[in-house]
């Protein structure tokens, strides 16, 4: 298990810059029994690892230095969905076992087979001190269409896992939509994903005690823009998915061109987890491997930036207001209570 004492000086300097980037992102501190920090991050071709702190002239490019930076970011989440983990799980297992430690758990899907699946997995990393798996896990397989019969399946099957935090239960559904040759290639998968999520999982989540309650969708949807007239974003939200205001205009590719690939969303009105609007992106540009080009950095860390959203799991204020017959949604429902 590596500690900061094991890190070379150049890595420690970069870690300081990563921490400043996290502070600028205003990601809240994890507070026991009070909040829940959920994230998503596409870690580019996250598979093999070069077991050294030094640069490798061959392949793989990702080394211990890169894992140290990734771990520094991941520690700020309670649970984070990771896309583009490869058949070779060396990097993700080293991340957990040698950098994050025993307090962290790992849940990973099977390999998506075939040329279109690119040998990728979808993964969840979670802080065992704050979150526990509920036991629910599965990959999304589309049922036969009532009129058309066989449906084309996803290139990379979306991955669905349930969790518990304090007294709250929630389910995360992560996906990595095909990139293809352009937006027109992506739209059919986005439409199928949104429609299936709304028609099947959302309906199941509405039953009392449902395992799928508090559904949060997150991952890499390869959406170009979040403008109302963008066909990919329109397809993503058409079935009722809502992206929080703080995430609607953030760019999530490292190059910061007009790309809004990554999303966190849920169905308005169906989420009983409390939200406070807290969400954002962690802009890591210029923080690590500063001696390398931007493209070289993306080979070692990622060509995507991580997204985060905060949820509130402390319901004590609402419970007190209910017992006192006060308006729980008032700015200060307890103003009438004398000192």
Domain boundaries of the chain, sorted by first residue? 4-324
Of 235, 237, 241, 239, residue with least CA distance to 266: 241
Instruction: Give every CB contact of residue 295 below 8 A, 6+ residues apart in sequence.
Output: none
Q: What is the pLDDT of residue 311?
A: 95
- Strands 241-242 and 262-267, bridge-based pairing: antiparallel
What's residue 180's pLDDT? 86
Residue pair 171/162 in contact (Cβ under 8 Å)? The answer is yes
Which pLDDT score is estimated for 14?
98
Q: Give the pLDDT score at 96.
A: 98
The pLDDT value recorded for residue 328 is 84
Taking a C-beta distance cutoff of 8 angstroms, is the pair 22, 282 a contact?
yes
Rounded to the nearest 10 degrees, the angle between the axes of helix 9-24 and helix 64-74 is 30
Residue 162 near residue 212 (C-beta atoms within 8 A) = yes
What is the pairing mode between strands 307-312 and 79-86?
A: unpaired
Separation CA 217–CA 160 (nearest Å): 9
Give the per-residue pLDDT at 149: 60
Instruction: Decide: 191 and 221 in contact? Cβ < 8 Å.
Output: no
pLDDT recorded at residue 325 = 84
Q: What are phi and psi of 295, to 5 degrees?
A: -60, -40
User: Over the chain (339 residues), what is each successive 10-residue block's mean pLDDT?
Assistant: 94 98 96 93 96 93 97 98 97 98 96 77 97 94 73 89 92 94 90 90 77 90 83 92 92 88 91 90 97 95 97 86 83 81
Q: Which of 127, 103, 101, 105 minimizes the C-alpha distance to 6?
A: 101
Residue reference for tokens 């040998």:
119
Q: What is the reported pLDDT for 261?
A: 93
> Rounded to whole angstroms, how far apart are CA atoms 4 and 99?
10
Which ranges constitute the DSSP H helices of the chain? 9-24, 64-74, 90-94, 183-196, 202-205, 231-237, 294-300, 316-324
Q: Note the pTM of the prediction, 2 decimals.
A: 0.93
CATH number of 4-324: 3.60.10.10
Helix or strand run (H / E) with residue 134 = strand 132-139
Instruction: Return the pLDDT at 199.
Output: 85
Distance, CA of 307 to CA of 280 (rounded, Å): 6
pLDDT at 147: 66
Q: Beta-carbon neighbour count of residue 319 at 10 Å?
A: 11
pLDDT at site 201: 85
DSSP annotation string for 237-265: HTTSEE--GGGTT---BTT-SS---EEEE
163 membership: H or E segment, kind and range: strand 159-165
């Amino acid at each position: 298990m590596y500690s900061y004492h094991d890190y070379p000086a150049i890595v420690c300097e970069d870690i300081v810059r990563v921490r400043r980037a996290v502070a600028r992102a205003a990601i809240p501190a994890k507070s026991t029994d009070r909040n829940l920090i959920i994230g998503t991050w596409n870690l580019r071709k996250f598979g093999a690892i070069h077991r050294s702190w030094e640069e490798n002239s061959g392949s793989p490019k990702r080394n211990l230095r890169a894992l140290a930076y990734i771990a520094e970011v991941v520690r700020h989440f309670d649970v984070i969905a990771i896309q583009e983990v490869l058949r070779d799980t060396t990097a993700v297992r080293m991340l957990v076992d040698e950098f994050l430690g025993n307090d962290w758990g790992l849940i990973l899907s099977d390999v998506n087979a075939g040329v279109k699946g690119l040998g990728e997995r979808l993964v969840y990393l979670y802080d065992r001190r704050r979150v526990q798996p509920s036991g629910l896990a599965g990959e999304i397989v589309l049922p036969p269409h009532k009129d058309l019969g066989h449906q084309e399946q996803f290139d990379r099957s979306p991955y669905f896992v349930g969790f518990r935090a304090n007294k709250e239960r929630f389910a995360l559904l992560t996906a990595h939509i095909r990139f293809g040759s352009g937006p027109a290639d992506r739209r059919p998968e986005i439409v199928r994903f949104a429609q299936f999520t709304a028609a099947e999982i959302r309906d199941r989540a509405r039953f009392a005690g449902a395992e799928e309650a508090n559904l949060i969708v997150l991952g890499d949807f390869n959406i170009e823009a979040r403008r109302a007239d963008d066909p990919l974003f329109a397809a993503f939200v058409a079935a009722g998915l809502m992206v929080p205001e703080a995430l609607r205009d953030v760019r999530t590719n490292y190059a910061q061109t007009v790309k809004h690939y990554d999303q966190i969303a849920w169905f308005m009105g169906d989420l009983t987890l409390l939200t406070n609007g807290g969400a954002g992106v962690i802009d890591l540009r210029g923080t690590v491997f500063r001696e390398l080009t931007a493209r070289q950095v993306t080979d070692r860390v990622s060509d995507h930036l991580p997204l985060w959203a905060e949820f509130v799991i402390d319901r004590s204020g609402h419970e007190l207001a209910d017992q006192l017959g006060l308006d729980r949604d008032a700015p200060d429902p307890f103003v009438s209570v004398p000192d």
